[in-house]
Structure 1
Amino acid sequence: MDELLLVGGRYVKAPQEFSVGYQTIDADTSGRNASGTMVRDIISEKVKLEIKWGPLSDGEIFDILNAVDSAFFDVTYPNPKTGGMATKTFYVGDRTAPLYSWNEKFGAIKWQGLSMNFIEK
């Protein structure tokens, strides 16, 4: 399924691993009161996508890294809460791309993979 993720307006190669996390954002006033009861003032819920790709060609890794080059970008992804696709605005966390091998004679580089997180704006 190559059209799993639409990132920054373009489809990227389907990842090998894809996890959707939900982060509840509390106001500064949340915490335990004098009787020890938890009091929460939930102000938002944000999505965090944890994504890992397997082996990538130079072209594939180039496409993915350039799709997340902006401060913020839209991502259309499978949403387990709705059972369909969702589009939200994200920013990218750290990106890691381990090298698999290269051949100096032919200039061929192979990437072992790529991992990054998308955090909802």
Structure 2
Amino acid sequence: MATYSLIISGTAVKTPSSFQVTIQDIDAKATRDAKGKLHRDRVATKRKISAQWPPLTLKECSTLLNAVKDEFFTVKYLDPVDGAMATRTFYVGDRTTPALTFIDNLGGYFWKDVSFDLVEQ
């Protein structure tokens, strides 16, 4: 059985060629006083996953894009802070599918460099 590094909406998708997790602090308010000292009201720490895929078959691309079609969905991924697989709720940013090309040695049409960001709710 193959292992997958990314499960979106319960669907194991093809392993990305590029995968980056950004840890984001979310502030309700951040201000500096007269001495320049920062005062912040951090309300949450969230994740943003930036991923890009190697050439995807038409079916793989469709499966991937359909997995992120809902407003919010779960993503299971390897989290660098947790040091283990984590499941969180995300939404997707713009989906880029830049080039449909025929790759003769792979035997068909492929979408190259599909990419998007997943942002934790």
How much is the aligned-residue C-alpha RMSD, in angstroms?
Answer: 1.5
- Contact kept, 8 Å, 1:19 with 1:49, in 2: the verdict is yes
Unaligned runs of 5+ in 2: none
What's the CA shift for 1:102? 4.4
Partner of 1:117: 117
What's the CA shift for 1:40? 1.2
Q: Are 2:67 and 1:63 equivalent residues in the alignment?
A: no
Q: TM-score, normalised by structure 2?
A: 0.89
The code of the aligned residue for 2:53 comes to: W
The code of the aligned residue for 1:74 comes to: T
What's the CA shift for 1:51? 0.3
Cα deviation code 1:29-85 (max 9, x no counterpart): x21012221111111111000000010100100000000000000000001112110
Alignment of 1:24-39 (within 5 A): 24-28=25-29, 30-39=30-39
Q: Distance in 1 between matches of 2:4 and 2:27?
A: 34
Q: Distance in 1 between matches of 2:92 and 2:46?
A: 14
Alignment of 1:3-82 (within 5 A): 3-28=4-29, 30-82=30-82
Matched length: 116
Q: Distance in 2 between matches of 1:81 and 1:22?
A: 9
Q: Distance in 2 between matches of 1:3 and 1:31?
A: 43
Q: Distance in 2 between matches of 1:51 and 1:43?
A: 26
Q: Distance in 1 between matches of 2:63 and 2:86?
A: 21
Q: TM-score, normalised by structure 1?
A: 0.89
Moved over 4 A (4+): none
What's the CA shift for 1:27? 1.4
What's the CA shift for 1:3? 1.0
Give the secondary-structure state (helix, strand or coil) at the position aligned to 2:93: strand
Alignment of 1:97-116 (within 5 A): 97-102=97-102, 108-116=108-116
